[in-house]
Structure 1
Amino acid sequence: MAADGDRSREWRLGETSLMLGDRSLMMGILNVTPDSFSDGGRYDAVEPATRQALRLLEQGAAMVDVGGESTRPGFEPVSEKEEIRRVVPVIQAVLQRDPSAILSIDTSKAPVAAAAIEAGARIVNDVWGFQSDVEIASVAAQCGTGVALMRNGRGGGEGGSILEKVKRSWATSVEIALKAGVREEAIVLDPGIGFGTTRQEDLEIMRGLAELGAFGFPLLLGTSRKRITAMPLGLPVESRLPATVATTVAGIAAGVDVFRVHDVAENLRASLLADLIYRGGQLDG
């Protein structure tokens, strides 16, 4: 989306906010799990996880998304108690080292969200868009956090085009959030690339991002190292960075504001030029 007007708006995160529209923001991924599809087991202890979070922030991440349960296809669910045990010490350790860090909790469980927020998380990122455990919406509303609501196609039972499915799911998620008391300016939406979608549907979502942006809320895009970035060559996970960057640039062109990525430095570097091209920025000097 070419910048032909002021797109600036705030993403409210309780007492603070992030400005959206003028530049792309990177949400660094931190999986505190033994079984995530890309980096499972690398950061499943407090010290290496803390170091990685600080590294992502140093590379330019606007926030770090901490997850204690894998959401890859075929993942093994973990208990609320175990998820809390994994994420809370990491959130506390990161904030002890960098009190200004903005941390997000990647969970669909209300008790996990509550514990993470108490530890200092300021965003709730729910891959079920508040439709799995509706109490999580009340937790986010009462604590005043920002929220990221994703459309999850693993539930099935929907007809129509993939863009219609995404918008219907978002409408339900937003209704749940607003009824619970979440402020509109606290909400960003994620179309759910790779969650119960086919390869063709993932491409259609990418092509339809500008249309999805017209839904009325800022967008978050999470394609990093996913199946879509393997196409069309069938690339292994370790070779998907260039394709991930390509999806980031495509997202910027379509008006996406937030990108959930493993490789912050590389995606941010590409976004700086893409922002100049598509958001109408100016070079200094």
Structure 2
Amino acid sequence: MGIVNLTEDSFSDGGKYIAHDDAIKHAKELISHGADIIDLGAESTRPGSDGISAEQQLERLLPIIRKLKQEHPDTIISVDTQDSIVAKEAIEQGASMINDISALRKDENMAKLLASNPDVSVVLMHMQGTPQTMQENPCYEDVLSEVLAFLKERIEHAQSHGISKDRIIIDPGIGFGKNLQHNLTLLANLKAFKKLGVPIMLGASRKRFINYISPAPADRRIAGSLATTLLALDAKLDYIRVHDVFEHHQFIKVLAAVNGG
């Protein structure tokens, strides 16, 4: 999954792809580099970020979705939003995955919308707090068991609202309401999430925890990001959400060649 941030203030590339032409060009590059899914986000979710209106999100998203579906009809379009109004319009224009960092908690209409669109998948992510508060003082007694319990409950919630289990993907939420040790514990125990019985996505690309281990600006955290991809592959996760598709695709291809497949 290749990331395209249509935002002014995302932590890694905010403002770089705010213009429609730049965003479309970047998405096409990610597809050419091997991305199977393009994840479009019009609202920054970095720590301390403020939200924007559904109208603003749609103004940024819809032209990109239309163009990509026209020119790359086989590419899966994911939309990173917590807003059912945004999700509804995006689905109507061709998005087939909704990446909801609130795990259906922020907008009570999101589950109903997804239940009525049986061909659309949903990513349910763990986050302690909100983007505005999540990094103020994240605290857990047992981060792994608490994240697992949260995701189990969210899967059950989605199913109880008519979303079939085969459409649900989970994300442990690296960097969302976690300190360095929390993130490392989750990364060291990715295989534990397999017991939940649904596909798993890892989104650790360029995250701030890498900087705490080996200080570098966001665009120079590719090597650290590749280390997390190796962990994801070892745990046999299903999706890897990354900024640098070329490097990750090359990394995976070389590993596959060495392993004979």
**Among residues 101, 111, 115, which one is paired with 1:137 in the alignment?**
111
- Amino acid paired to 1:130: L
Q: Which residue of 1 aligns with 2:190?
A: 209
Q: CA offset at residue 159 of structure 1?
A: 5.0
Distance 1:257 1:146 in 2: 14
Distance 2:6 2:215 in 1: 27
CA change 1:275–1:138 in 2 (3 A) is: farther
What are structure 2's unaligned runs of at least 5 residues?
A: none
- Amino acid paired to 2:10: S
Q: CA offset at residue 191 of structure 1?
A: 0.1
Q: Which residue of 2 aligns with 1:21?
A: none
SS in structure 2 opposite 1:39? Answer: coil
Distance 1:135 1:175 in 2: 17
Residue 185 in 1 paired to residue 163 in 2? Answer: no
Q: CA offset at residue 143 of structure 1?
A: 1.2
Q: Which has the higher contact order (CA 8 A, sep 6+)?
A: 1
Distance 1:216 1:202 in 2: 22
Residue 150 in 1 paired to residue 128 in 2? Answer: no
Q: Which residue of 1 aligns with 2:13?
A: 39
- Whether the 8 Å contact between 2:152 and 2:196 is mirrored in structure 1 is no
Distance 2:216 2:109 in 1: 39
- Aligned residues with identical type, % of pairs: 35
Q: CA offset at residue 45 of structure 1?
A: 1.7
Q: Which residue of 2 aligns with 1:233?
A: 214
- Amino acid paired to 2:260: Q
CA change 1:249–1:132 in 2 (3 A) is: same
Distance 2:148 2:219 in 1: 32
Distance 2:228 2:46 in 1: 20
Q: Which residue of 1 aligns with 2:157?
A: 176
Deviation digits for residues 90-117 of structure 1, max 9, x if unmatched?
Answer: 1111112222221001001111100100
Q: Which residue of 1 aligns with 2:3?
A: 29
- Amino acid paired to 1:75: S
Distance 2:220 2:139 in 1: 34
Distance 1:192 1:77 in 2: 18
Superposition TM-score, scaled by structure 1 size: 0.85
Distance 1:250 1:274 in 2: 12
- Amino acid paired to 2:44: S
Number of equivalent positions: 254
- Whether the 8 Å contact between 1:158 and 1:165 is mirrored in structure 2 is no
Residue 70 in 1 paired to residue 44 in 2? Answer: yes
Distance 1:52 1:172 in 2: 36
**Among residues 141, 145, 148, which one is paired with 1:167 in the alignment?**
148
Moved over 2 A (4+): 154-160, 272-277
SS in structure 1 opposite 2:116? Answer: helix
SS in structure 2 opposite 1:261? Answer: coil
Q: CA offset at residue 152 of structure 1?
A: 0.7
